[in-house]
Amino acid sequence: MAAKVFTIDGQEISATEGQSVLEAAHEAGIRIPTLCHLEGVMDVGACRLCLVEIAGSNKLVPACTTQVADGMVVATTSERLQRYRRLLLELLFAERNHVCAVCVSNGHCELQSLAMHLGMDHVSFPYTFPKLEVDLTHRLFGMDHNRCVLCGRCVRVCWYVEGAATKNFSGRGASSRIISDLNQPWGESRTCTACGKCVHACPTGALFEKGTTVGEMQKDRGKLEYIVTAREKKQWIV
Amino acid sequence: MVLAELIAIKERELAARKPVVITCCLAAGCLSSAGQAVKEALDQAVKTASLDAEVEVRGVGCMRLCCEGPLVFIDPPGTLYQQVKPEDAASLVGTVRGGTTHVARGEPNHPFFARQMSIVLENSGFMDPERIEAYIARDGYLAVRNVLREMTPAEVVSEITRSGLRGRGGAGYPTGLKWSTVAKTSSAKKYVICNADEGDPGAFMDRSVLESDPHRVLEGMIIAAYAVGADQGYIYVRAEYPLAISRLQTAIRQAKQLGLLGSGVFESPFNFNLDIRIGAGAFVCGEETALMASVEGRRGQPRPRPPFPAESGLFGQPTLINNVETFACVPPILRRGAEWFAAIGTERSKGTKVFALAGKVKHTGLIEVPMGMTLREIVQDMGGGVPDGGQIKAVQTGGPSGGCIPAAHLDTPVDYESLGRLGSIMGSGGMIVMDQQDNMVDVARFFMEFCKDESCGKCVPCRAGTVQMHALLCRLLARQATARDLAKLEELCDLVRNTSLCGLGITAPNPVLSTLRFFRQEYLDLLAPEPWKPATPPAPLPGLG
Ligand SMILES: Cc1cc2nc3c(=O)[nH]c(=O)nc-3n(C[C@H](O)[C@H](O)[C@H](O)COP(=O)(O)O)c2cc1C
Ligand code: SF4
Ligand code: SF4
Ligand code: FES
């Protein structure tokens, strides 16, 4: 594979052909904020937090779905980008009921840490306070729609890593919901293998293990990466 | 099918023409005002008057002046009758024998008709859309035959490129460039898709074309498939258009029977299959990547581009996707030559454009005009201006992705660039006229509500941003918003247009931005006073400083 050389935040780095700007940046130790990106499953470009500027174009592009090209000049931290990222986070916090103080993921939540790192110290939009369900019908896990950011990570691991295809989206716009099977209670799903990958893929407290209380739900991303890498490298075939 | 057979069909059809033809509009507009009953009554009246040998009653596609439907045209003498009722049938048929009728006549010389230039709609209102022979009689499928027999795919692409045709689905992407990109890919499997999702509120151009002249779209697609090297096509139609779907089904069946579709088109080595896919009425499924996901049987959600459909589209294969009207322009271009088409319109916008003229104008309906005609000519001369002598305030083009052009700019020529400079777009062809009664903030709210409801929910700015923008517009209309809210609205417009994933989100702020640009005062007039603030801040409380 051909190597590509490009510039990111003034630093020249090399990448392999086909790599995303996000991967290449991470390898070079440059962190770009992400939410819908999850190591090991394909990127969809949904959260828009990883948007970066490319010199010569006034269109912002998501780092996670943009492939590197020779001579590309990428900027990831302009004032404008940081402002957009904070606004996007504000929109997310106003969209559902993110009450960190009583959330199982308090202290281990990607949304929360993004807000802290990007300096989102208040929400300037009125909260919409939707009335949402909590599905506790599953034997092991719970789903709290109040905390869901619709990143789709649970759906992608369920389809493309576990292959169970239990999780999916229903509805559209603000009434989009994560559902199990044909919008049944999770506990009644015939396809769910109770593998728990969705729980560990979820960036917030929307998916959690039963029995955890405030601040106790820590997600184990390593396990997922381990499975995906082992599969790609065929480490399980003897 | 060979050329001689095609010509034979045409001659048979022309020879069978009866001395008098009564055409009766059976497109959606007239059907909704009892057009079908009028047609049946006319049939009956002809029988009763024993005029079967002399008079043909023909159900045809859209005759344009939808607001006056059902429309009936008797030729000769070439008289248009408006708002016909089934009871009028006998007297109308009587006019053939010199009788009289009280039914209101239209004015065929009125600018509404006279200023039109029909290319896409050239057969609309003249022929029976359910008979392939009628289409062949009007030189249908001649272009395909000539293309397959006498031109290489590269020549076809170059003809389209030279014609200057641009996509009629909204963005105006050069059609020739798109075709050549797909043609240049080396994949063994390629697809052609016709985008007939037409989701803009108030737009019915594509519907009319499909209902009035379905074979034209098929012909355009066959030519496109030959040019780019595809052997499978799909027409993606929304389920809300049952008549268009049924006419397309009929057309595809007839074309297959005559060997114009399927394997060995026109007895050449070229194969092309065409299937219909029915959408479930989501606006976002008109976006090309969402449409392809939907055709594949997945959730209709856009994905980031690149890769563009031309490289990796349906089922991961190179795919050509064009709008209904774009395909409908193709047969005449190949029949009459790229130069002929390129001579119509402006420097960078060639040919004609079909608009659905609606709102506060006397004459509403379907019009096809050459590019470059001014808005004033369209809405004042052709549309007849506001009824009851009102004043035009603005013209909205481009639906939820477009903008409102104020009356002061009515002399703008209608072409892609001029409309773009005014913060609007050509769009797919909706044109709504507004008068002094219309509140522009409310117009912006209407379109924002549409975008909010139609957002697919995939990306954050569009899903959550449209909700907040809609709420701010509602607050403005309730006179509860402050100057800070207005600033917030503008900040959101900037965010959503720059960060959204697909065209829906990117253009959702346009109606707000364009009304803010030209009608800012209306927003300011709605502002509530700022909450009271003391002129000088109070002194700190003792002991707390
Ligand atoms: C939200 C959205 C809705 C769209 N709806 C339509 C539509 O209904 N019909 C259409 O032809 N194009 C629609 N488009 C444009 C298509 O994505 C695509 O550009 C078009 O079909 C290309 O055809 P053209 O080059 O012939 O214009 C839509 C785009 C967006 C972003
Ligand atoms: S449940 Fe979690 S992983 Fe799934 S979409 Fe919601 S926030 Fe994302
Ligand atoms: S811009 Fe709107 S419609 Fe387009 S992908 Fe994002 S949420 Fe979906
Ligand atoms: S991480 Fe790239 S869009 Fe979400």
Q: Which pLDDT tens digit goes with each residue over B324-341?
A: 999 999 999 999 999 999
Question: Which residue lies with its CA nearest to atom 31 of ligand 1?
Answer: B503
Exposure of B516 by Cβ count < 10 A (0-12 exposed, 13-18 middle, 19+ buried)? buried
Q: In this predicted model, what pLDDT tens digit does every residue of B216-253 receive, in sequence order?
A: 999 999 999 999 999 999 999 999 999 999 999 999 99
Residues across chain A: 238
| Domain covering A3-77 assigned CATH 3.40.50.920 in the classification | no
Q: Give whole-number Cα distances, B494 to A80, B500, B508, in Å.
A: 11, 10, 11
Instruction: Decide if pLDDT at B70 tops 60.
Output: yes
Residue B431 β-bridge partners: B357, B397
| Residues sharing a CB contact under 8 Å with residue B242, sequence separation 6 or more, in sequence order | none
Question: With contacts defined as CB-CB under 8 Å, which chain B residues touch A176?
Answer: 456-457, 463
Which residues form the pocket of ligand 3, taking CB atoms under 6 Å from any ligand atom? Answer: B 284, 302, 455-459, 462-463, 500-502, 504-505
Ligand 1 centroid to B374 CA: how many Å? 24
The radius of gyration of chain A's CA atoms, rounded to the nearest angstrom, is: 19
Query: What is the overall mean pLDDT for chain B?
Result: 95
Calpha distance B477→B474 (Å, rounded): 5
pLDDT number for residue B412: 96
DSSP B268: S
Site residues for ligand 4, CB cut-off 6 Å: A 34-37, 45-50, 62, 64
Q: Detail the DSSP E strand segments found in B377-481.
A: 392-397, 403-406, 430-435
pLDDT at position B173, please?
96
Q: Distance (Å, rounded) from C-alpha A25 to C-alpha A3? A: 14
Range among A85-94, B75-84, B531-540 with highest mean pLDDT value: A85-94
- What pLDDT, in 10s, does the model give residues B260-309? 999 999 999 999 999 999 999 899 999 999 999 999 999 999 999 999 99
HSE of A227, CA atoms in CB hemisphere, 13 A: 17
pLDDT at B492 over 80: yes
Are A4 and A69 a contacting pair, CB within 8 Å?
yes
Find the helix or strand (DSSP H, E) in which B352 lies. strand B352-359
Q: Do A174 and B463 touch (CB under 8 A)?
A: yes
Which residue type does A57 have?
S
The residue extents of the domains of chain B are: 17-109, 139-342, 352-435, 440-524
Which parts of chain A sit beneath pLDDT 70? 1, 237-238
pTM of the model: 0.94
Q: Which amino acid residue places its CA nearest to atom 28 of ligand 1?
A: B287
Q: Alpha-carbon distance B161 to B228, whole Å?
A: 13
Measured in degrees and rounded to the nearest 5, phi and psi for residue B71 equal: -105, 140
What tens digit of pLDDT does each residue of A74-93 get?
999 999 999 999 999 999 99
Distance to chain B for A60, nearest Cα, Å: 7
In sequence order, the β-bridge partners of residue B319 are B191
Residue B507 in tokens: 């253009």
Which residues of chain B neighbour A150 with C-beta distances below 8 Å? 457-458, 463
Q: How far is the CA of A155 from the centre of ligand 4 (A)?
A: 15
For domain B17-109, say whether CATH 3.40.30.10 is its number: yes
- Shortest CA distance to A149 belongs to which of A56, A229, A37, A9? A37
Is the predicted pLDDT of residue B489 greater than 90, yes or no?
yes
pLDDT band at residue B361 under the 50/70/90 scheme = very high
Mean pLDDT on B61-77? 92
Q: Quick one: which ligand is closest to A154's CA?
A: 2
Judged by CB atoms closer than 8 Å, whether chains meet at A60 and B501 is answered as no
User: Cα Rg for chain B, rounded, in angstroms?
Assistant: 26
Residue B201 preceded by cis peptide, ω within 30: no
- Burial (CB count within 10 angstroms: exposed 0-12, middle 13-18, buried 19+), residue A91: buried
Report the C-alpha dihedral over residues B327, B320, B187, B153, rounded to 10 degrees: 30
| pLDDT tens, residue by residue, B113-129 | 999 999 999 999 999 99
**Which of the 8 DSSP states describes residue B386?**
S
Query: Once rounded to an integer, what is the mean pLDDT over residues B315-322?
Result: 98
* CATH fold of B440-524: de novo design (two linked rop proteins) (1.20.1440)
Interface test with A, best of B452, B459, B490 (most A CBs within 10 A): B459
* pLDDT tens track for B400-459: 999 999 999 999 999 999 999 999 999 889 999 999 999 999 999 999 999 999 999 999
Q: What ranges do the domains of chain A cover? A: 3-77, 85-209
Local structure of B461: helix, strand or coil = helix
Domain boundaries B139-342, CATH class: alpha beta
Q: In this structure, what token pair is assigned to residue A207?
A: 């998916």
ipTM: 0.95
Amino acid A62 reads P
Q: What pLDDT does A108 receive? A: 95
Of B519, B450, B442, B448, which Cα lies nearest the Cα of B476? Answer: B442
pLDDT at B543: 67
CATH number listed for the domain at residues A85-209: 3.30.70.20
Q: For the residues of A149-196, what is the DSSP string, one character each?
A: ----HHHHIIIIII----EEEES-GGG-EEEETTTB-GGG-SS-----
- The pLDDT-based confidence of B530 (bands split at 50, 70, 90) is confident
| Residue A94: per-residue pLDDT | 97
A218 within 8 A of A196, measured Cβ to Cβ: no
Report which of A93, A109, A142, A134 is spatially closest to residue A219, judged by C-alpha positions.
A109
CATH for B352-435, among 3.10.20.600, 3.40.50.2300, 3.40.50.300, 3.20.20.150? 3.10.20.600
For the CA of A62, the nearest ligand: 4
User: pLDDT tens-digit profile of B84-95?
Assistant: 999 999 999 999
Topology match between the domains B139-342 and B352-435: no
Q: Give the 3-state DSSP-derived string for B276-311, with helices as H, strands as E and coil as C.
A: EEEECCCHHHHCHHHHHHHHCCCCCCCCCCCCCCCC
